[in-house]
Amino acid sequence: MWLIFATITVLLWGTSETIFKKVSTIEKHSVLKLISYNGIMLGICALIFMLITRTQMNLEIIKTYLPVALIYIVSMFCTYKAMTLVKVSILSPLQNSSCAITTILCIILLRQEVGIPQIIAIAVIIIAMILLSINKDEVLRLESGDKEADERNAKRAYLLYLKGIAFALGYWLLDGIGSFMDDYTLEADLSAEQVIIAYSLIYGVIGIICAIIVKYKERDYKFIKIKDNKLKLLGTLVETAGQYTYIYAFAFGDAAIASPYIAAYSIVTVILSRIFLKEKLKKKQWILIGLILVGLITLSI
């Protein structure tokens, strides 16, 4: 059963990630806007889901899941920030190798067992991540005829790229820890329904706070103007659906297996970004991304 939920999650999140990259900009409050849309949508869906399933909720449950939820929300801030600086076809495989962190923690702390191929896969993922992170092929050089100006522009572009990679690695670490804590929480304390509702309600509160901040900073901005925000709304709906299938994938399977399988949604992202965003990569980048994806698939076997 976990495989069905995990596969649906892969398709949904690969699609939503491509949509969010499409709408991401370098405007000052773009990250807060994405968090507000996601949070408010999740909060609304959580209330509906809670009424339909009649799931018992109380403040103690919210308190129990609060640390995990905050880790995930901060990781989402990191990924939205990175999207403004790095191609999503590079960003997605890099970030989603966070399952290596999850697998390591599950082995050490939960005594879940993996084989030699999985251990090798973790090593391959980490090496490929390092090489992809320091890849200067991503820098756009502006040929202005002024050598010093070109060097300054190249240096600035590379620093921005490294900044994006730093945010991506922040997501990598936090999401890996969050996924591990999800598995631990599901095994020890809460049901899958309580987890998704608690997470969504907490995210909803954060979303409302972000919306208030954006409205204060940009008084003319209209959140409910569908014409201008239809892609954000579509991405949010797809992302939200993925959150529900994701938590059930963890409820029915071990995080050591489910996490790397779901992380393979990067394959969907890379394909869609090539088709719809026209992102182009160097041969070296394709090889490194391929190694990461092979590692992810190996971890899920």
What is the tens place of the pLDDT at every residue in 55-87?
999 999 999 999 999 999 999 999 999 998 888
Looking at per-residue confidence, does 181 or 186 come out higher?
181
- For 35-59, write each residue's pLDDT tens digit: 999 999 999 999 999 999 999 999 9
If you search the block for the tokens 């005829």, which residue do you land on?
A: 145
CA 237 – CA 223 distance, rounded (Å): 15
Q: Is the pLDDT of residue 206 over 50?
A: yes
Handedness of CA 11, 12, 15, 17 (dihedral sign): negative
pLDDT at 113: 76
CA 193 – CA 213 distance, rounded (Å): 30
Q: Which of 268, 283, 267, 278 is nearest to 87 (CA)?
A: 278
Residue 40, SS3 per DSSP? helix
Output helix, strand, coil percentages for the chain, rounded to the nearest 5.
80, 0, 20
Looking at per-residue confidence, does 78 or 2 come out higher?
78
Q: Where are the domains of the chain?
A: 2-300
Quote the tokens at residue 211: 């919306």
- For 142-156, write each residue's pLDDT tens digit: 444 455 656 677 778
Interaxial angle between packed helices 226-252 and 255-263, expressed in degrees from 0 to 180 and rounded to the nearest 10 = 150
The model's confidence at residue 26, banded by pLDDT at 50, 70 and 90, is low
Q: Is 235 exposed, middle or buried (0-12, 13-18, 19+ CB in 10 A)?
A: buried
| Residue 54 Rama label (left phi>0; alpha psi -120 to 50; beta) | left
> Which segment, 74-78, 180-184, 263-267, 273-277, is predicted with the most confidence on average?
74-78
pLDDT at 144: 43
pLDDT at 267: 84
Quote the tokens at residue 210: 């972000």
